[in-house]
Amino acid sequence: MSDGSLFSVKMRASRGSEHVSGAERIVPSSAAPRTAAALVTRALTHSKGMPDFINVKLERPSSIVRLKSLPVTTHATRTPEEGMTLAAELLAKDGIGRVAEIMAKFAETYVLRGAMLLDADTLERLDPNPERGVRATCMDDADSTLKGVPSAKNHFAEAIVLATKVQNAPGIIAEICVSDDPDYTTGYVATRSLGYHRITNIKEHGSPLGGRIFLYRGPRSNVTETIRFLEQQAVLVEDVPAISADATTDRFASIAEERSIRAERGLLRSCRTLDAPTGPTTRIDGRDVVVLSSNDYLDLANDPAVVSAAANAARQWGAGSGGSRLTTGTQPPHVALEEHLARFKGTESALVFPTGYMANVGVISALVRKGDVILSDELNHASIIDGCRLSGADVVIYAHNDLSDLERKISSCRGYRRRVAVSDAVFSMDGDMLDLPRFIDICRRNDAFSVIDEAHATGVIGATGHGLSEHFSCPHPDVIVGTLSKALGSTGGFVCASRMMVEHFINSARSFIFSTASGAPAMAAADAALTVIESQPERVAALRENVRFFKSELARHGIEAHTDSAIVPIRIGDERLALQAADELLKRGFLIPAIRYPTVKRGEARLRVAIMSSHGKDDLARAAESIAAACTRHQSAV
Ligand code: WAQ
Ligand code: MG
């Protein structure tokens, strides 16, 4: 298509002396008839009401200039004031001096059909007809022109085409625009150097007051040429960014908005880099702190036997496995660890996953699908919740640790193909424990699979850290999920079950099948950690003693904390108060992050202390005292 066959099609509609609608396109001659028709339709259906005069003009331009679209940046502003302030700042940033005076002139533009043309420095009006202003016309989006499609009304595309033309007019250095469409609160500032800055909220919703100012800098003698370019030169703008017709924010603006909402509610998170390995103590920003939030309960991540097992495995088998378990990723350290896990838990078989999260997601989605049902404790870990969602099964939530509720609900689930009940063994945010014998009994009587997640139980619960079955001297559930990443000091997840069940998971747990196998160092580390736990049961005893001591210290300071494990929650409630308490504790040398929504319910923010076997009693005593001080200062109800 040569530019020579292009037509400019312009529509203007009015009622009496009132302007109703105006629009224009540049299209191939073949598309001119339907374009004209579409513009007439637009005039007839305008929200300002039915016009009584519609002028459609078709014209073949003598030359066409092609321009690249200005780059677009979107700012999500929350109020018109914020929007106007931002507009002024952008102009100032571009070296425009009398910004406040320019903004004050904006009200004068409301009556104009076109834009006010202002000398950017003297603020003299340069538009020859001050009733009308200057109008930028004869321009279109090159893309839609090429396709010959009459575009639906799209404020954004039209505005960027106009702004691009305007910023390419000789002498123009900036533009500010507010829509006069009552439904459209978005405006923009465009400058040659900063590009097009959309401002999502720049005027009150419902207001018909809009306008434009073009700022000019240059000799008076060139103004005529500037106006000719604006009003007559045909322009096609290339590469106009795509955006939906009625979007008031673009994709990045909506992300920025989510962030500001999070920040306001005290829910913004970020990662903190530690300067030293985490044991019972570490270093942050050059300061020593006591770590009261690590899940490395038995201090095995830095144990010499564990570390050298990992190092040796790296030397022998490499850092990474290079393949999924079912292709080339299974090495002797994987097999050895699985055999050891099965022995440790007393099951026939075991299977390792790259993370504990993936173990839960994989196991649950492999057990049930649409047409099945899962009964899930309301405080189960996010990885269990995600597994439930991914499975497609119906999910029935029962009250936290309320096995009577489980029993009631499960007995009305007989119509399903498969039933699964799933529970954390130790609840990660509350530290309480499942009544495993009763859980298993309810599952058996209702022919439901029993699945528990021993993430916080392995190495912690039971006289020698073997988990809930040891603690209760009871049989195993059908499936035990666990992690290598907490008390085992390594990284990864696992499942322990019968040979038949493990084979089922190998064949159907997608997080297992489609992940690269963990590296041998992580496998060897966990294997060595199991050996340490078996040979040094005193570590588990020391952990239990530290928990008892810490609770008694808290009690001395008036804080009653309940736990069945090494997790000691200290409830605060309000998210911001919890953050303040955590900040204060860090200043005092204790790393205890505030746990907030969505990890716990809204308004149930807490400090979550995790005890290690290697914490010194003096550190624990000082921690209890500081927690009590920080909590009273931040008016918490404990
Ligand atoms: N030339 C100069 N001024 C004009 C023109 C023109 N062709 N068309 C309109 N104006 C003036 C007039 O005073 C209007 O009241 C004012 O500008 C606003 O025009 O999502 O819809 O057509 O990034 O209402 C901007 C945001 C939308 C787009 C702009 O302007 C986005 C808009 P409107
Ligand atoms: Mg308008």
198 lines ligand 1 (CB under 6 A): yes
Nearest CA to ligand 1 atom 4: 114
Ligand 1 pocket residue status of 117, Cβ below 6 Å: no
User: In this structure, which ligand is nearest to the CA of 113?
Assistant: 1
Ligand nearest to the CA of 155: 1
Are residues 249 and 330 located together in one domain of the fold?
A: no
Atom of ligand 1 nearest to the CA of 212: 17
Q: Which atom of ligand 1 is nearest to the CA of 181?
A: 24
Cα 184 to ligand 1 centroid, rounded to whole Å? 11
For residue 196, give the ligand 1 atom closest to its CA. 23
136 lines ligand 1 (CB under 6 A): yes
Measured by CA distance, the residue closest to atom 33 of ligand 1 is 179
State in Å: Cα 256 to ligand 1 middle: 26
Q: Are residues 441 and 549 in the same domain?
A: no
Rounded Cα distance, 578 and 626, in Å? 14
**214 C-beta closer than 6 A to ligand 1:** no
CA–CA dist 20, 17 (Å, integer): 9
Average pLDDT of the segment spanning 514-543: 98
Q: For 167-195, how does the pLDDT look when each residue is reduced to its tens digit (9 = 90+)?
A: 999 999 999 999 988 778 889 999 999 99
Percent of the chain with pLDDT over 90: 80
Same domain, 567 and 601: yes
**pLDDT of 151 higher than 60:** no
Please tell me if the CB atom of residue 231 comes closer than 6 angstroms to any atom of ligand 1. no
The domain boundary, picked from 39, 59, 79, lies at 59
Between 256 and 72, the higher pLDDT residue: 72
Are 329 and 277 within one domain? Answer: no
Q: Do 258 and 241 fall into the same domain?
A: yes
pLDDT at residue 507 in the model: 98
- In tens, the pLDDT along 554-602 reads 999 999 999 999 999 999 998 889 999 999 999 999 999 899 988 888 8
Whole-number Å distance, alpha carbon 204 to ligand 1 midpoint, is 16
How far does the centroid of ligand 2 lie from the alpha carbon of residue 171, in Å?
A: 25
CA of 184 to the centre of ligand 2 (A): 9
Q: Which ligand is nearest to the CA of 210?
A: 1
CATH number at 581 reads 3.90.1150.10
Give how far Cα 60 sits from Cα of 6, 229, 320, 587, Å: 6, 16, 66, 73
Q: Is 180 in the pocket of ligand 1 (CB under 6 A)?
A: yes
Residue 105 in contact with ligand 1 by CB distance below 6 A: no
Q: Which of 155, 229, 232, 237 to mutate to test the pocket of ligand 1 (most atoms within 8 A of CB)?
A: 155
In tens, the pLDDT along 12-65 reads: 999 998 888 888 999 999 999 999 998 998 888 887 788 999 999 999 999 999
Q: Give the nearest ligand 1 atom to 160 CA.
A: 23
Pocket probe for ligand 1: among 126, 135, 212, 232, the residue whose CB has the most ligand atoms within 8 Å is 212
For position 246, what pLDDT does the model report? 40
Q: Is the CB of 177 under 6 A from ligand 1?
A: yes
What pLDDT does residue 631 have? 84
Ligand 1 centre distance from Cα of residue 143 (Å): 21
Kindly state whether residues 530 and 542 are assigned to the same domain. Answer: no
* Helix or strand run (H / E) with residue 86: helix 80-93
Q: Are residues 256 and 327 in the same domain?
A: no
Taking the CA atoms of residue 334, residue 338, residue 339 and residue 341 in that order, the dihedral angle to the nearest 10 degrees is 140
Distance between Cα 162 and ligand 1 center (Å): 8
> Of all helices (H) and strands (E), which one includes residue 162?
helix 155-167
Sorted by sequence, the CB contacts under 8 Å of residue 629 that are 6+ apart come out as none
Same structural domain, 359 and 421: yes
Q: What's at 291, amino acid-wise?
A: V
Ligand nearest 165 Cα, by number? 1
- Specify the residue with its C-alpha closest to ligand 1, atom 29: 179
Ligand 1 pocket check for 42: Cβ under 6 Å? no
C-alpha to C-alpha distance for 156 and 164, rounded to whole angstroms: 12
The residue out of 535, 565, 585 marking a domain boundary is: 535
Confidence of residue 245 (pLDDT cuts 50, 70, 90): very low
What is the whole-number distance in angstroms between the Cα of residue 29 and the centre of ligand 2? Answer: 27
Ligand 1 centroid to residue 261 C-alpha, Å: 30
With bands split at pLDDT 50, 70 and 90, how would you rate the model's confidence at 247? very low
Specify the pLDDT at position 249. Answer: 47
What is the average pLDDT value for the chain, to the nearest integer? 92
Domain extent at residue 455? 304-535
**248 Cα nearest atom in ligand 1:** 20
| Residue of the CA atom closest to atom 19 of ligand 1 | 179
Q: Are residues 572 and 473 in the same domain?
A: no
Instruction: Give the pLDDT mean for 401-409.
Output: 98
The contacts of residue 480 (CB under 8 Å, 6+ apart) are 345, 347, 451, 452, 453, 454, 467, 495, 496, 497
What's the gap between Cα 269 and its chain centre?
A: 10
Ligand 1 pocket residue status of 212, Cβ below 6 Å = yes
| Residues involved in catalysis | 428, 456, 486
Q: Whose CA is nearest to atom 27 of ligand 1?
A: 179
H or E stretch covering 101: helix 99-104
Q: Rounded CA gap, 572 and 593, in Å?
A: 12
Residue 243 has pLDDT above 70, yes or no: no
3-state secondary structure of 493: strand
Q: Which amino acid is at 462?
A: G
170 in the same domain as 157: yes
Which of 20-29, 221-230, 331-340, 615-624 is predicted with the least confidence, judged by mean pLDDT? 20-29
- Residue ID of nearest Cα to ligand 1 atom 1: 135
User: Ligand 1 mean position to 154 CA, how many Å?
Assistant: 12
The 3-state DSSP class for residue 155 equals: helix
Domain boundary, last residue among 492, 510, 535:
535
Mark whether 74 and 31 lie in a shared domain.
Answer: no
CB atoms inside a 10 Å sphere around CB 233: 20
Q: Which atom of ligand 1 is nearest to the CA of 137?
A: 7
Give dist(CA 10, CA 135) in Å, integer: 13
Number of domain units in the chain: 4
Least confident of 72-81, 369-378, 485-494, 512-521: 72-81
Q: Which residues of 567-604 are buried (b: 16+ CB within 10 A; e: fewer)?
A: bbbbbbbbbbbbbbbbebbbebbbbbbbbbeebbeeeb
Residue with tokens 């000091």: 489
Report the pLDDT averaged over residues 106-129.
Answer: 94
Band the pLDDT of 636: cuts 50, 70, 90: very low
Domain match, 227 and 346 both: no
pLDDT digits (tens, 9 = 90+) for 334-354: 999 999 999 999 999 999 999
Q: Which two tokens stand for residue 203?
A: 């005027």
Tell me the pLDDT tens digit for each residue of 442-477.
999 999 999 999 999 999 999 999 999 999 999 999
156 lines ligand 1 (CB under 6 A): yes
Question: Which residue lies with its CA nearest to atom 21 of ligand 1?
Answer: 179
